[in-house]
Chain A
Amino acid sequence: MIEFKNIKKSFDEKVVLDDVSHVMETGKCNLIIGTSGSGKTVLQKCLVGLFEPDSGEILYDGISFTEMDDDGRKALRQQIGMLFQGSALFDSMTVEQNVMFPLDMFAKMSSSEKLKRVNEVLDRVNLEGANKKFPAEISGGMKKRVGIARAIVLNPKYLFCDEPNSGLDPQTSMVIDKLILEITKEFNMTTVINTHDMNSVMEIGENILYMFEGHKEWTGNNEEIIFSKNEKLNQFIFASKFLQDAKDMRMLEAKGIIADDRNMEDMLNNGEEIK
């Protein structure tokens, strides 16, 4: 569990985070959503220590990260995995070397054990056989999967993902979302995801924090978000007509006015008329 209380962060005169508090739960996909410039990335960078908050407290399983010394942070960071927006793979290394790098640096294992572990995680992200390829030779989706493999190779307790679906097609995005969700459940990790992607919000948003102009505007999950009355959230989430229609369908479904997707399929198969 990651808890942060009253986080404030400014750059020069501009306030980027204004008194943000929330709890990121263990074993769940915790999403930070919001428009560009709302402070999502800065918040995530504060959580992992790439930025120092001006004030406030960050607790990792009850232990204060903000008050930790450098050695304490170094030790904690070995329990943190992070998937970057651009994957941040080391260009001069192969897929295998990229994934093995954290093991080489921190794990006391023999070469064969390391290789076995690398193959395990590459299999886990469905990248078997890509060991010897360089980042420049693989697709965006594969890079993201290598990034995930590198992030989980040391069995972290906390996984951070910065826009994991940026630049990916909807189908690949869904594969990545599913993978992150599965890994979160499998290893009981605290996963924190920054995203703009509405499919991700609906698919894996178990605990959602909506940021607006640097402050916490709304919290909830992917079920509650449909029925939220928060105007700013609704403007952000259901910005397109398609998404607005989808929301209306869900509302009607919930009220029992129309059947749910599965029933609709049955009705169509049976030649029944849908109201």
Chain B
Amino acid sequence: MTFFTHFGRYLLMLKGMFTRPENLKMYWKEFMHQCNDIGIGSLGIVSIISVFIGAVSAVQTSYQLVSPLIAPETIAQIVRDTVILEFAPTLVCIVLAGVIGSKIASELGNMRVSEQIDALEIMGINTKAYLILPKITAALLTIPLLVIISMVLGIWGGRLAGAASGILSADTFDRGLLLKFIPYNVTFALIKSYTFAFIISSIPAYYGYYVKGGALEIGRSSTKSVVVSCIMLLFADYVLTQMLLTH
């Protein structure tokens, strides 16, 4: 299939999600279930990688800034800005593309192959609306929250590593955090996280929903969905940075 066939079918899938729900309560239940799976389920891995990302960036920044002319507070500034601008939204979302993306693709793929999607269709349920929309909306709600948590934990990780390795004291780090803080950076990171949330939920949903074959094809489509999501995510990252951060 050509790129345009996939893209057209992807758009039709998105269009097909917007119909009147058969039972709002059941949709809400599914939405909450997905929020729990995507949000709470990913909290552990997001927390761990965020703390380490912050810690490593603090140590590496101090390693590179050896000049006595540069104030130690600068390390905190660099850690803060790199975590907010890039590490928290992009790196965390790439990890989530693997964690959530493969889960969504394999879950829907398994439902397709085992005829569970057909069973729902026969009951008169719009499966695109019932199975895909809650996943995308849950991702749009929880992933930006995870990114905010990641920002906080990343900075905290840098502070912890800085103090533990004697690079800079916690007080110096705190002072550095407040220097030349640009609130727009957080807005930019949130815009990125919403875009990435959409990408890492809708692309795997597409690959899972339209899978054909058996267990092998589920695995293949799951892998493909993660690869495509990551590429699209990095492409979107560049486009957004170009659009929103250049003057």
Contacts and interface: CB of A to CB of B under 8 A. Distances in A.
B118 interface: yes
A48 interface: yes
Given A85-B115, A86-B114, A88-B115, A77 B22 contact: no
A89 B114 CA distance: 8
B121 A50 contact: yes
B23 A105 contact: yes
Given A78-B124, A80-B122, A82-B122, A106 B22 contact: yes
Contact of B26 (A48, A85, A105): A105
Contacts of A88: 114-116, 118-119
Most buried by A among B19, B122, B125: B122
A218 interface: no
A48 B125 contact: no
B243 interface: no
Contacts of A70: 19
Interface string B113-142: 011101101111110000000000000000
A179 to B, nearest CB: 19
Contacts of A106: 22-23, 123-124
Contact of B125 (A75, A84, A89, A105): A105
A56 interface: no
Contacts of A78: 123-124
A110 to B, nearest CB: 13
A74 B23 contact: no
Given A104-B23, A104-B26, A73 B115 contact: no
Given A104-B26, A105-B22, A90 B116 contact: yes
Contacts of B115: 84-86, 88
B122 A75 contact: no
Contact of A105 (B110, B118, B123): B123
A74 B124 contact: yes
A78 B119 CA distance: 12
Interface string A34-49: 0000000000000011
B23 A77 contact: no
Interface string A74-113: 1111101110111011110000000001101110000000
A81 B110 CA distance: 22
Contact of A73 (B22, B25, B124): B124
Contacts of B19: 70
B124 A50 contact: no
A74 B25 CA distance: 18
Interface residues of A, number: 26
A104 B25 CA distance: 9
Contacts of A101: 123
Contact of A50 (B23, B114, B118, B126): B118
Interface string A109-143: 00000000000000000000000000000000000
A172 to B, nearest CB: 20
B31 to A, nearest CB: 15
Contacts of B26: 104-105
Contacts of A104: 23, 25-26
A78 B116 CA distance: 16
A106 B123 CA distance: 9
A82 B119 contact: yes
Contacts of A80: 122
Interface string A170-195: 00000000000000000000000000
Nearest to B29: A104
A213 B124 CA distance: 31
Given A77-B124, A78-B124, A84 B22 contact: no
Interface in A58-80: 70, 73-78, 80
29 contacts: A49-B121, A50-B122, A73-B124, A74-B124, A76-B124, A77-B121, A77-B122, A77-B124, A81-B122, A82-B118, A82-B122, A84-B118, A85-B115, A86-B114, A86-B115, A88-B115, A88-B116, A88-B119, A89-B116, A91-B110, A91-B114, A91-B116, A102-B123, A104-B23, A104-B26, A105-B23, A106-B22, A106-B23, A160-B122
Task: Identify the 10 closest CB pairs spanning chains A and B, nearest first.
Answer: A77-B124, A88-B115, A88-B119, A74-B124, A82-B122, A84-B115, A78-B124, A105-B23, A88-B116, A102-B123
Interface of B: 19, 22-23, 25-26, 110, 114-116, 118-119, 121-126
Interface of A: 48-50, 70, 73-78, 80-82, 84-86, 88-91, 101-102, 104-106, 160
Given A77-B124, A85-B115, A88-B119, 5 more contacts: A73-B124, A74-B124, A77-B121, A78-B124, A91-B116
